Structure 1
Amino acid sequence: MIHEVDEGLRLLLVDAGLQESGVELVFDAPTRDWSARRNAPTVSVFLYGIREDATRRRTGTAEEFDDEGVVTGRRNPPRWFELTYLLTAWTNRPQDEHRLLSEVLRCVIRTDVLPDRMLTGSLAMLGLPVEVEAASAGSGDRPSTVDVWSALGGELKAAIDLRVWAPLAGEVTAVGPPVTEGLLVRTAPERDGEATEPGRRLRYDGASDPAGQGFAAERERQLPPGRRRRGGPAR
Protein backbone atom coordinates (compact mmCIF):
# COMPACT_ATOMS: atom_id res chain seq x y z
CA MET A 1 0.00 0.00 0.00
CA ILE A 2 2.82 2.45 0.83
CA HIS A 3 4.41 2.20 -2.62
CA GLU A 4 0.96 2.75 -4.15
CA VAL A 5 0.56 5.98 -2.19
CA ASP A 6 4.03 7.01 -3.42
CA GLU A 7 2.91 6.40 -6.98
CA GLY A 8 -0.28 8.39 -6.43
CA LEU A 9 1.68 11.39 -5.15
CA ARG A 10 4.13 11.11 -8.02
CA LEU A 11 1.29 11.14 -10.55
CA LEU A 12 -0.26 14.11 -8.73
CA LEU A 13 2.95 16.16 -9.09
CA VAL A 14 3.47 14.99 -12.67
CA ASP A 15 -0.08 16.10 -13.46
CA ALA A 16 0.87 19.57 -12.19
CA GLY A 17 3.54 19.76 -14.91
CA LEU A 18 6.66 19.63 -12.71
CA GLN A 19 8.47 16.97 -14.75
CA GLU A 20 7.72 18.80 -18.00
CA SER A 21 9.69 21.76 -16.63
CA GLY A 22 12.75 19.56 -16.03
CA VAL A 23 12.23 18.95 -12.31
CA GLU A 24 13.19 15.54 -10.88
CA LEU A 25 10.77 13.85 -8.51
CA VAL A 26 12.44 11.54 -5.98
CA PHE A 27 11.50 9.78 -2.75
CA ASP A 28 15.00 9.82 -1.24
CA ALA A 29 15.81 11.01 2.26
CA PRO A 30 17.24 14.56 1.94
CA THR A 31 20.44 13.92 3.88
CA ARG A 32 23.52 16.13 3.71
CA ASP A 33 25.37 13.71 1.39
CA TRP A 34 22.36 13.34 -0.87
CA SER A 35 21.87 17.09 -1.24
CA ALA A 36 25.55 17.55 -2.15
CA ARG A 37 25.06 15.32 -5.20
CA ARG A 38 22.08 17.24 -6.60
CA ASN A 39 22.85 18.89 -9.95
CA ALA A 40 19.30 19.50 -11.24
CA PRO A 41 16.12 21.05 -9.80
CA THR A 42 14.62 18.37 -7.58
CA VAL A 43 11.55 17.82 -5.44
CA SER A 44 12.03 15.31 -2.63
CA VAL A 45 8.95 13.51 -1.27
CA PHE A 46 10.35 11.85 1.86
CA LEU A 47 8.19 9.48 3.95
CA TYR A 48 9.15 9.73 7.61
CA GLY A 49 6.08 8.65 9.58
CA ILE A 50 3.63 5.72 9.50
CA ARG A 51 0.98 5.10 12.13
CA GLU A 52 -2.47 3.53 12.26
CA ASP A 53 -5.58 5.65 12.53
CA ALA A 54 -7.30 3.55 15.20
CA THR A 55 -10.49 5.62 15.02
CA ARG A 56 -11.27 3.99 11.66
CA ARG A 57 -10.72 0.39 12.75
CA ARG A 58 -13.72 -1.88 12.09
CA THR A 59 -14.68 -5.49 12.86
CA GLY A 60 -16.46 -8.20 10.89
CA THR A 61 -15.75 -9.80 7.53
CA ALA A 62 -16.90 -9.49 3.93
CA GLU A 63 -17.40 -12.44 1.59
CA GLU A 64 -15.24 -12.86 -1.52
CA PHE A 65 -16.84 -14.39 -4.64
CA ASP A 66 -15.45 -15.93 -7.82
CA ASP A 67 -16.79 -15.34 -11.34
CA GLU A 68 -19.53 -17.89 -10.80
CA GLY A 69 -20.78 -16.29 -7.60
CA VAL A 70 -19.35 -18.96 -5.29
CA VAL A 71 -17.92 -17.79 -1.96
CA THR A 72 -14.15 -18.38 -1.98
CA GLY A 73 -13.06 -16.53 1.16
CA ARG A 74 -13.82 -13.96 3.82
CA ARG A 75 -11.87 -10.68 3.99
CA ASN A 76 -11.22 -8.67 7.12
CA PRO A 77 -12.02 -4.94 6.91
CA PRO A 78 -9.17 -2.65 5.80
CA ARG A 79 -6.96 -0.91 8.35
CA TRP A 80 -6.30 2.81 7.84
CA PHE A 81 -2.85 4.34 8.18
CA GLU A 82 -1.60 7.91 8.27
CA LEU A 83 1.54 8.44 6.18
CA THR A 84 3.51 11.63 6.79
CA TYR A 85 5.80 13.10 4.12
CA LEU A 86 8.33 15.92 4.04
CA LEU A 87 8.24 17.79 0.71
CA THR A 88 11.32 19.89 -0.12
CA ALA A 89 12.66 21.69 -3.20
CA TRP A 90 16.33 21.69 -4.19
CA THR A 91 17.98 24.13 -6.61
CA ASN A 92 21.10 26.28 -6.71
CA ARG A 93 19.40 29.43 -5.43
CA PRO A 94 16.98 29.94 -2.52
CA GLN A 95 14.70 32.08 -4.73
CA ASP A 96 14.34 29.24 -7.21
CA GLU A 97 13.71 26.76 -4.41
CA HIS A 98 10.93 28.94 -3.01
CA ARG A 99 9.37 29.32 -6.44
CA LEU A 100 9.46 25.57 -6.98
CA LEU A 101 8.13 24.86 -3.50
CA SER A 102 5.30 27.31 -4.18
CA GLU A 103 4.27 25.27 -7.23
CA VAL A 104 4.32 22.09 -5.15
CA LEU A 105 2.23 23.75 -2.45
CA ARG A 106 -0.30 24.97 -5.03
CA CYS A 107 -0.63 21.40 -6.32
CA VAL A 108 -1.12 19.60 -2.99
CA ILE A 109 -3.18 22.26 -1.20
CA ARG A 110 -6.00 22.00 -3.74
CA THR A 111 -6.18 18.21 -3.43
CA ASP A 112 -8.29 16.75 -0.63
CA VAL A 113 -8.59 13.26 -2.15
CA LEU A 114 -6.31 11.59 -4.70
CA PRO A 115 -8.21 11.21 -8.02
CA ASP A 116 -9.24 7.66 -8.90
CA ARG A 117 -7.04 7.66 -12.00
CA MET A 118 -3.99 8.04 -9.74
CA LEU A 119 -4.79 4.98 -7.62
CA THR A 120 -3.13 1.67 -8.49
CA GLY A 121 -2.98 -1.86 -7.12
CA SER A 122 -4.88 -2.52 -3.89
CA LEU A 123 -5.91 1.14 -3.55
CA ALA A 124 -7.72 0.95 -6.89
CA MET A 125 -9.22 -2.45 -5.96
CA LEU A 126 -10.66 -1.21 -2.65
CA GLY A 127 -12.14 1.89 -4.23
CA LEU A 128 -11.89 3.86 -0.97
CA PRO A 129 -10.90 7.55 -0.81
CA VAL A 130 -7.24 8.34 -0.14
CA GLU A 131 -7.29 11.66 1.71
CA VAL A 132 -4.54 14.27 1.51
CA GLU A 133 -3.83 17.17 3.87
CA ALA A 134 -0.97 19.62 3.34
CA ALA A 135 0.68 22.18 5.63
CA SER A 136 -1.78 21.57 8.46
CA ALA A 137 -1.22 22.53 12.07
CA GLY A 138 1.19 20.15 13.77
CA SER A 139 0.01 17.50 16.21
CA GLY A 140 1.61 17.18 19.61
CA ASP A 141 2.29 13.46 19.18
CA ARG A 142 4.09 13.81 15.82
CA PRO A 143 7.79 14.64 15.42
CA SER A 144 8.43 18.26 14.50
CA THR A 145 10.16 19.31 11.30
CA VAL A 146 13.20 20.35 13.34
CA ASP A 147 13.44 16.84 14.81
CA VAL A 148 13.25 15.30 11.33
CA TRP A 149 16.04 17.49 9.97
CA SER A 150 18.15 16.77 13.04
CA ALA A 151 17.72 13.01 12.50
CA LEU A 152 18.67 13.38 8.82
CA GLY A 153 21.84 15.26 9.73
CA GLY A 154 20.98 18.14 7.40
CA GLU A 155 20.39 21.85 7.77
CA LEU A 156 16.88 23.12 8.41
CA LYS A 157 15.12 24.49 5.32
CA ALA A 158 11.62 25.28 4.13
CA ALA A 159 9.45 22.17 3.73
CA ILE A 160 5.80 21.17 3.32
CA ASP A 161 4.38 18.68 5.79
CA LEU A 162 2.02 16.34 3.90
CA ARG A 163 -0.27 13.74 5.47
CA VAL A 164 -2.06 10.95 3.60
CA TRP A 165 -4.71 8.56 4.99
CA ALA A 166 -4.78 5.29 3.04
CA PRO A 167 -6.39 1.86 3.60
CA LEU A 168 -4.42 -1.37 3.85
CA ALA A 169 -6.49 -4.26 2.46
CA GLY A 170 -7.50 -6.86 5.06
CA GLU A 171 -6.34 -10.46 4.99
CA VAL A 172 -8.47 -13.07 3.22
CA THR A 173 -9.30 -16.38 4.90
CA ALA A 174 -10.05 -19.11 2.37
CA VAL A 175 -13.21 -21.19 2.79
CA GLY A 176 -13.90 -24.73 1.63
CA PRO A 177 -15.74 -25.45 -1.61
CA PRO A 178 -19.55 -25.75 -1.49
CA VAL A 179 -21.09 -29.18 -0.83
CA THR A 180 -22.06 -30.85 -4.12
CA GLU A 181 -22.73 -34.43 -2.92
CA GLY A 182 -25.60 -35.83 -0.90
CA LEU A 183 -25.40 -37.08 2.66
CA LEU A 184 -24.81 -40.80 3.13
CA VAL A 185 -25.18 -42.39 6.57
CA ARG A 186 -24.39 -46.01 7.40
CA THR A 187 -25.38 -47.65 10.68
CA ALA A 188 -24.34 -50.99 12.15
CA PRO A 189 -24.64 -52.55 15.62
CA GLU A 190 -21.34 -52.70 17.46
CA ARG A 191 -19.97 -54.62 20.37
CA ASP A 192 -16.70 -53.60 22.00
CA GLY A 193 -16.08 -51.19 19.13
CA GLU A 194 -16.49 -53.82 16.36
CA ALA A 195 -19.44 -54.21 13.98
CA THR A 196 -21.51 -57.36 14.61
CA GLU A 197 -23.30 -57.32 11.25
CA PRO A 198 -23.10 -55.52 7.89
CA GLY A 199 -23.99 -51.86 7.91
CA ARG A 200 -27.31 -50.50 6.75
CA ARG A 201 -27.61 -47.42 4.48
CA LEU A 202 -30.08 -44.72 5.62
CA ARG A 203 -31.95 -42.01 3.73
CA TYR A 204 -30.60 -42.62 0.24
CA ASP A 205 -31.42 -45.90 -1.49
CA GLY A 206 -29.34 -46.24 -4.61
CA ALA A 207 -26.30 -44.43 -6.00
CA SER A 208 -24.52 -42.15 -3.58
CA ASP A 209 -23.67 -39.59 -6.28
CA PRO A 210 -26.59 -37.12 -6.68
CA ALA A 211 -25.25 -35.88 -10.04
CA GLY A 212 -23.70 -32.71 -8.59
CA GLN A 213 -27.02 -31.26 -7.40
CA GLY A 214 -26.55 -32.04 -3.72
CA PHE A 215 -29.74 -32.18 -1.67
CA ALA A 216 -31.66 -30.57 -4.53
CA ALA A 217 -31.36 -33.76 -6.60
CA GLU A 218 -34.64 -35.63 -7.11
CA ARG A 219 -34.81 -39.10 -5.57
CA GLU A 220 -37.40 -41.86 -5.82
CA ARG A 221 -38.88 -42.46 -2.39
CA GLN A 222 -40.81 -45.61 -1.48
CA LEU A 223 -44.17 -44.93 0.15
CA PRO A 224 -45.77 -47.09 2.87
CA PRO A 225 -48.51 -49.53 1.72
CA GLY A 226 -51.87 -47.84 1.13
CA ARG A 227 -50.34 -44.41 0.51
CA ARG A 228 -50.41 -42.83 -2.92
CA ARG A 229 -48.68 -39.92 -4.55
CA ARG A 230 -50.69 -36.84 -5.31
CA GLY A 231 -52.57 -37.36 -8.56
CA GLY A 232 -51.59 -41.06 -8.80
CA PRO A 233 -52.98 -44.45 -7.78
CA ALA A 234 -52.42 -45.94 -4.32
CA ARG A 235 -49.53 -48.36 -3.85
Structure 2
Amino acid sequence: MIEEIYQIFYDKLPASLVDILPVYNECKIVTCLNPYYMVKLKTEDYHIYDEFDYICSDGMGPLKLQKWFGHPKSVRLSFDLSAMAGPVFRDAIKNDKGLYVLGAKPGEVEKSVETIKGNFERLRIAGFHHGYIKGEEDKIVSEIKESGASVVIIGMGAPAQDEMAVRLKKAGFVGSVYTCGGFIHQTQEGMVSFPEWSNKLGLRWLYRIFTQRGMLKRLIETYPKFAVTYPLFLLRMK
Protein backbone atom coordinates (compact mmCIF):
# COMPACT_ATOMS: atom_id res chain seq x y z
CA MET A 1 0.00 0.00 0.00
CA ILE A 2 1.10 3.55 -0.68
CA GLU A 3 1.06 4.32 3.05
CA GLU A 4 4.20 2.18 3.38
CA ILE A 5 6.32 4.56 1.31
CA TYR A 6 4.73 7.53 3.07
CA GLN A 7 5.81 6.10 6.43
CA ILE A 8 9.37 5.48 5.24
CA PHE A 9 9.50 8.99 3.79
CA TYR A 10 8.19 10.62 6.97
CA ASP A 11 10.43 8.64 9.32
CA LYS A 12 13.58 9.54 7.37
CA LEU A 13 12.95 13.25 6.85
CA PRO A 14 15.90 15.33 8.14
CA ALA A 15 15.19 17.93 10.79
CA SER A 16 17.44 20.49 9.08
CA LEU A 17 20.22 20.96 6.55
CA VAL A 18 22.78 20.02 9.20
CA ASP A 19 21.52 16.42 9.23
CA ILE A 20 22.40 15.81 5.59
CA LEU A 21 25.87 17.41 5.48
CA PRO A 22 28.65 14.99 4.51
CA VAL A 23 30.37 12.57 6.85
CA TYR A 24 33.68 11.01 5.91
CA ASN A 25 34.29 8.19 8.39
CA GLU A 26 31.28 6.02 7.49
CA CYS A 27 28.69 5.75 4.75
CA LYS A 28 25.76 8.16 4.68
CA ILE A 29 23.28 8.01 1.81
CA VAL A 30 20.74 10.75 1.16
CA THR A 31 17.99 10.98 -1.44
CA CYS A 32 14.98 13.15 -2.22
CA LEU A 33 11.40 12.20 -2.95
CA ASN A 34 8.46 14.24 -4.13
CA PRO A 35 4.75 13.42 -4.50
CA TYR A 36 5.19 12.40 -8.14
CA TYR A 37 7.76 9.70 -7.37
CA MET A 38 5.98 8.42 -4.28
CA VAL A 39 2.74 7.94 -6.20
CA LYS A 40 4.46 6.39 -9.23
CA LEU A 41 6.84 4.06 -7.35
CA LYS A 42 6.14 0.35 -7.61
CA THR A 43 5.41 -1.40 -4.34
CA GLU A 44 8.35 -3.78 -4.88
CA ASP A 45 10.72 -0.79 -4.90
CA TYR A 46 9.71 0.55 -1.50
CA HIS A 47 12.37 -1.50 0.30
CA ILE A 48 15.13 0.50 -1.40
CA TYR A 49 14.25 3.55 0.67
CA ASP A 50 14.56 1.70 3.97
CA GLU A 51 18.31 1.70 3.33
CA PHE A 52 18.67 5.50 3.28
CA ASP A 53 19.83 7.55 6.22
CA TYR A 54 17.75 10.52 5.13
CA ILE A 55 15.02 11.18 2.58
CA CYS A 56 14.49 14.87 1.86
CA SER A 57 11.25 16.41 0.69
CA ASP A 58 11.84 17.79 -2.80
CA GLY A 59 8.82 20.05 -2.62
CA MET A 60 6.78 22.05 -0.14
CA GLY A 61 3.53 20.11 -0.59
CA PRO A 62 4.26 17.28 1.87
CA LEU A 63 5.68 19.69 4.45
CA LYS A 64 2.68 22.00 4.30
CA LEU A 65 0.30 19.08 4.66
CA GLN A 66 2.29 17.80 7.64
CA LYS A 67 2.00 21.19 9.32
CA TRP A 68 -1.74 21.45 8.64
CA PHE A 69 -2.38 17.95 10.02
CA GLY A 70 -0.31 18.36 13.17
CA HIS A 71 2.92 16.63 12.16
CA PRO A 72 5.39 19.46 11.41
CA LYS A 73 8.77 18.08 10.53
CA SER A 74 11.74 18.95 8.31
CA VAL A 75 12.43 21.62 5.68
CA ARG A 76 12.42 21.50 1.88
CA LEU A 77 15.76 20.20 0.64
CA SER A 78 16.63 19.25 -2.92
CA PHE A 79 19.96 18.98 -4.68
CA ASP A 80 20.29 22.45 -6.16
CA LEU A 81 22.11 25.67 -5.30
CA SER A 82 19.23 27.00 -3.20
CA ALA A 83 19.35 24.02 -0.85
CA MET A 84 21.85 21.15 -0.70
CA ALA A 85 24.43 21.42 -3.48
CA GLY A 86 26.29 24.51 -2.28
CA PRO A 87 26.64 23.41 1.37
CA VAL A 88 27.71 19.89 0.35
CA PHE A 89 30.36 21.14 -2.09
CA ARG A 90 31.68 23.74 0.38
CA ASP A 91 31.96 21.11 3.12
CA ALA A 92 33.98 18.89 0.77
CA ILE A 93 36.27 21.84 -0.02
CA LYS A 94 36.68 22.68 3.67
CA ASN A 95 37.71 19.10 4.44
CA ASP A 96 39.74 18.64 1.23
CA LYS A 97 37.58 15.73 0.05
CA GLY A 98 37.12 14.56 -3.54
CA LEU A 99 33.83 14.51 -5.47
CA TYR A 100 32.69 11.85 -7.93
CA VAL A 101 29.94 12.80 -10.38
CA LEU A 102 27.77 10.03 -11.85
CA GLY A 103 24.87 10.66 -14.21
CA ALA A 104 23.42 12.32 -17.32
CA LYS A 105 24.38 11.35 -20.87
CA PRO A 106 27.87 10.90 -22.34
CA GLY A 107 29.10 14.39 -23.16
CA GLU A 108 26.72 16.03 -20.69
CA VAL A 109 28.49 14.91 -17.52
CA GLU A 110 31.80 16.36 -18.75
CA LYS A 111 30.18 19.77 -19.28
CA SER A 112 28.55 19.61 -15.86
CA VAL A 113 31.87 18.83 -14.19
CA GLU A 114 33.41 21.87 -15.88
CA THR A 115 30.52 24.01 -14.62
CA ILE A 116 30.96 22.71 -11.08
CA LYS A 117 34.71 23.32 -11.20
CA GLY A 118 34.13 26.83 -12.53
CA ASN A 119 31.86 27.69 -9.62
CA PHE A 120 33.70 25.80 -6.88
CA GLU A 121 37.32 26.21 -7.93
CA ARG A 122 38.87 24.47 -4.94
CA LEU A 123 36.58 21.45 -5.15
CA ARG A 124 38.63 18.40 -6.05
CA ILE A 125 37.01 16.22 -8.75
CA ALA A 126 37.98 12.60 -8.09
CA GLY A 127 36.21 11.26 -11.17
CA PHE A 128 33.05 11.21 -13.23
CA HIS A 129 31.01 8.92 -15.49
CA HIS A 130 27.77 9.15 -17.43
CA GLY A 131 24.68 7.45 -16.05
CA TYR A 132 24.12 4.87 -18.80
CA ILE A 133 25.74 2.02 -16.90
CA LYS A 134 23.21 -0.85 -17.02
CA GLY A 135 25.11 -4.09 -16.57
CA GLU A 136 28.24 -2.25 -15.42
CA GLU A 137 27.10 -1.14 -11.98
CA ASP A 138 29.68 -3.21 -10.07
CA LYS A 139 32.47 -1.88 -12.29
CA ILE A 140 31.43 1.72 -11.58
CA VAL A 141 31.16 1.02 -7.84
CA SER A 142 34.75 -0.24 -7.88
CA GLU A 143 35.85 2.78 -9.91
CA ILE A 144 34.25 5.16 -7.42
CA LYS A 145 35.85 3.44 -4.43
CA GLU A 146 39.25 3.42 -6.12
CA SER A 147 38.96 7.10 -7.09
CA GLY A 148 39.39 8.21 -3.49
CA ALA A 149 36.18 10.23 -3.59
CA SER A 150 34.46 10.93 -0.28
CA VAL A 151 31.37 12.57 -1.77
CA VAL A 152 29.35 11.12 -4.65
CA ILE A 153 26.42 12.69 -6.48
CA ILE A 154 24.22 10.48 -8.65
CA GLY A 155 21.74 11.77 -11.22
CA MET A 156 20.17 8.80 -12.99
CA GLY A 157 16.47 9.23 -12.20
CA ALA A 158 14.51 7.29 -9.58
CA PRO A 159 14.69 4.52 -8.67
CA ALA A 160 17.93 3.80 -10.61
CA GLN A 161 19.93 6.48 -8.79
CA ASP A 162 18.62 5.25 -5.44
CA GLU A 163 19.54 1.65 -6.26
CA MET A 164 23.07 2.81 -7.12
CA ALA A 165 23.40 4.70 -3.84
CA VAL A 166 22.35 1.60 -1.90
CA ARG A 167 24.76 -0.51 -3.96
CA LEU A 168 27.63 1.78 -2.94
CA LYS A 169 26.64 1.53 0.71
CA LYS A 170 26.49 -2.26 0.63
CA ALA A 171 29.85 -2.39 -1.16
CA GLY A 172 31.49 -0.64 1.79
CA PHE A 173 31.92 2.86 0.38
CA VAL A 174 33.10 5.30 3.04
CA GLY A 175 31.77 8.82 2.63
CA SER A 176 28.50 10.47 1.65
CA VAL A 177 26.30 9.74 -1.36
CA TYR A 178 23.58 12.06 -2.66
CA THR A 179 21.07 11.44 -5.41
CA CYS A 180 20.66 14.65 -7.37
CA GLY A 181 17.92 14.09 -9.96
CA GLY A 182 18.41 16.38 -12.96
CA PHE A 183 21.18 18.47 -11.39
CA ILE A 184 23.96 17.08 -13.61
CA HIS A 185 21.95 17.45 -16.83
CA GLN A 186 20.77 20.93 -15.85
CA THR A 187 24.23 22.30 -15.07
CA GLN A 188 25.80 21.69 -18.48
CA GLU A 189 25.72 25.36 -19.43
CA GLY A 190 25.88 26.91 -15.97
CA MET A 191 24.70 26.58 -12.42
CA VAL A 192 20.92 26.59 -12.45
CA SER A 193 19.04 27.98 -9.48
CA PHE A 194 15.38 28.74 -8.95
CA PRO A 195 14.36 32.42 -8.83
CA GLU A 196 14.30 33.82 -5.31
CA TRP A 197 10.58 34.62 -5.56
CA SER A 198 9.74 30.97 -6.27
CA ASN A 199 11.69 29.81 -3.21
CA LYS A 200 10.27 32.51 -0.93
CA LEU A 201 6.65 31.95 -1.97
CA GLY A 202 6.90 28.17 -2.22
CA LEU A 203 6.03 28.33 -5.92
CA ARG A 204 8.86 26.36 -7.47
CA TRP A 205 6.25 24.02 -8.94
CA LEU A 206 4.70 26.94 -10.83
CA TYR A 207 8.08 28.03 -12.19
CA ARG A 208 8.80 24.45 -13.28
CA ILE A 209 5.51 24.21 -15.18
CA PHE A 210 6.69 26.98 -17.49
CA THR A 211 10.34 25.90 -17.73
CA GLN A 212 10.35 22.09 -17.70
CA ARG A 213 8.68 20.00 -20.38
CA GLY A 214 6.14 17.50 -19.09
CA MET A 215 5.87 19.05 -15.64
CA LEU A 216 2.19 19.98 -15.96
CA LYS A 217 1.33 16.44 -17.07
CA ARG A 218 3.19 15.01 -14.08
CA LEU A 219 1.28 17.25 -11.71
CA ILE A 220 -2.09 16.32 -13.19
CA GLU A 221 -1.30 12.57 -13.16
CA THR A 222 -0.13 12.28 -9.56
CA TYR A 223 -0.77 15.28 -7.32
CA PRO A 224 -4.56 14.87 -6.95
CA LYS A 225 -4.03 11.34 -5.64
CA PHE A 226 -1.27 12.52 -3.31
CA ALA A 227 -3.46 15.38 -2.04
CA VAL A 228 -6.00 12.79 -0.88
CA THR A 229 -3.87 9.86 0.28
CA TYR A 230 -1.12 11.72 2.16
CA PRO A 231 -3.55 13.60 4.45
CA LEU A 232 -5.30 10.28 5.16
CA PHE A 233 -1.93 8.81 6.12
CA LEU A 234 -1.22 11.78 8.42
CA LEU A 235 -4.63 11.51 10.04
CA ARG A 236 -4.04 7.83 10.84
CA MET A 237 -0.73 8.74 12.50
CA LYS A 238 -2.55 10.60 15.29
What TM-score, normalized by structure 1, do the two folds share? 0.21
TM-score by length of 2: 0.21
Indicate the structure whose relative CO is greater, using CA pairs within 8 Å and at least 6 residues apart: 2
Larger Rg: 1
